[in-house]
Structure 1
Amino acid sequence: MFSRNAFSGTMPLCLVEAEVGRAVITMEVGPAQMNGHGTCHGGALWTLADMVFGAAGYYDGTILTTGSDLTFIRPVPGGATIHASAAQISRRGLSGIFTVVLTLDPGNPDAVVAAGTFSGRWLRSEGRGGGN
C-alpha cells in the first residue's frame, strides 16, 4: 500500500503494526511537514490519519476513504514523533468505519493531538475473509 502511494511516499511514515482491523503508524515531524506557524501542517496530520486508516483496513484489500471527520485538538511542534492508531468499529458488506487517534504519547489522553472517524469502502468483492 505504501509503495504504490506516491504522495504519502514522500512523508516520513513508519508502519509499526498492522493486523485485521487495526494499525499503528508513526511520523517524525520534519521541515517538510511544517506550516507557516511553525507547527505540523494539518494536511500532513490528515494524511497520516488517512494512511493509518488504510493500513487498518488493508486486511481485505484496498479500502478507499469515503468520509472522514478529524478534529485537530492541539498543535504539534517540529521534531515530534506522532503515533497514529486506527481501529475498526463497524463493517457491513464492503463498507467500514474506523476510529483514528493521533497522539504524542500513546496511553496519555492529554497528549492526543487529533482524533476522529474514517469510513471507507473495500474495492474487492465480499467474502475474502476477515469481514466483521
Structure 2
Amino acid sequence: AGGGAVEAELAKRLKEYAAKVGGRKQLAIEAFAKSLEIIPKALAENSGLDPVDIMVSLRAAHESPDGKWMGVDVYTGKIEDMMKKGVIEPVKVKEQAIKSAVEAAAMILRIDDVIAAAKPPPTPSKKGEKGASEEE
C-alpha cells in the first residue's frame, strides 16, 4: 500500500521489537524505525499538510487492529485505508528502496569509522613544546 502505510507499520513493529531487545541494539532499531517515518512525514509536508498532525493521526490509526494499511491521502488530507482506496505500490520496489537505503547508511557509517580510525598520531615535541595535534 502507498501513502506511507507500509513505512508506518514497519516503524510501529520495529519499535515494539526494539523494546524487547534492549541495549545498544535497541537504540539502533529505534533510529531505523524513526527513519522509516520520514516517508509519510515527507508526503504530508509536500502536500501542504501539517506533518505533526498527520504523524500523530497515522500512529494512532496503526494502533488499531485493522490499521496496517492506513496511510496519508494527499488529496483529502486524511488518514485512510490505502488498500481500499487502491493506492498500491509494488512490493519489489518497496523492498529494493529499503535495501538501498540501508546499504547507503551502512556504507556511510563504515567510511566514518575509517576516518575516525585514521586520526594522525601526535607529532613529537621539542623541549616541552606541545605537539601540533595537541595545540588544537
TM-score of Structure 1 vs Structure 2, range by shorter chain = under 0.3
Q: Which has the larger radius of gyration?
A: 2
More helix by share: 2
Structure number having the greater strand percentage: 1
TM (norm. structure 1) is: 0.27
